Amino acid sequence: MEQLIKQTLYMLAKLCNSDQVILLNVEDNSIGVVIGGFNKGELALPGKTLKFKNTPLEKIVTTKQAHTYHADLVEELLIPTYKPSAHSIGCLCIPLLNDQNKVIGLALLSQKAGQPLPSDRAQILSLLRPLMASVINAAMENEHLIQMATTDNLTGLYNRRYFETRLQEEFTRIRRHGGGMSLMLIDVDRFKQINETCGYPEGNRLLQELAKLIALSIRKEIDIPSRYGGEQFILLLPSTEVDGAYVLAERIRKRCEQFRFMTLKGIPLKMTVSIGIAHSLDVVHQENIGADGEAVAEVAQVNLVTKEELLYRADTMLTAAKQAGRNQIMVWW
């Protein structure tokens, strides 16, 4: 899919003599998500969003007609505008329709001043619109399949399978480039009792609220939050020492402790969590002994633990937190 998007961008750039080309997936007729961008020979921008309200793109989506507008280049992203600025460039905006005549995407192509698109190329571009719409549709379906394969249906966080894949990737990165990571295992206290007292639907709602609290607490697009199974969640924290992991764990623990969960019948429930933390690196301190038998220096040896050992340590610390009275954080130092 990525290669198909690249080829489409290059083809459009060459055909229309454009320095900038953007392919957008249209969501709810009000927001476009970039599935691919081309800027002066470089590919970039996937994942960025562009709001349509009060912009020419809102009219393009409504009328389903292509039109050329002024545009500003903001962080390599073409932003069509009604009013030109000193740095404006031309931007050809093309709606891409599916078989039901619905706008599912947009193609934005920069136009050089005084160089309108020749009629023969404009005709070719018109013939290519169904192909571009197919690329958008395929990208949407591919994204949906990826989301289904990597996301936990109940909480919306990543699932265990995705976590295990990312954990392996992070270990590979550390072996090649150095660094470390922390692992955080979170468990809802007395969850079985909550299920038995209030029922499984309320237990599921509680897990959904906890997932939201976790998502609000972490670093977006860096930390990897996953549902590990049942009432357990696991966080992969790249390039994070145990001190930083503990700060995050305390933030999550406090937010859970202060959160007031209300069942659908109006029964308040207190939610607390126990957390275990481990780090991927072992630091072993050794003393060198001199000729006179006295210690003369201390040497720190850093070892990368295995995946299995890292998971074992996080789980061991979680068990220790439970045994210490719950609503606790324990770290394998």
Residues carrying an active site annotation:
231
DSSP assignment of 54-115 equals TSHHHHHHHH---EEEEEEEETTEEEEESS--TT-EEEEEEEEE-TTS-EEEEEEEEE-TT-
Residue 111 near residue 91, CB atoms below 8 Å: yes
Residue 139 near residue 132, CB atoms below 8 Å: no
Q: How distant is the alpha carbon of residue 132 from its chain centre?
A: 26
Q: CA-CA-CA-CA torsion for 212, 214, 220, 223, nearest 10 degrees?
A: -140
Residue 4 DSSP code = H
Closest CA to 261 of 272, 253, 250, 269: 269
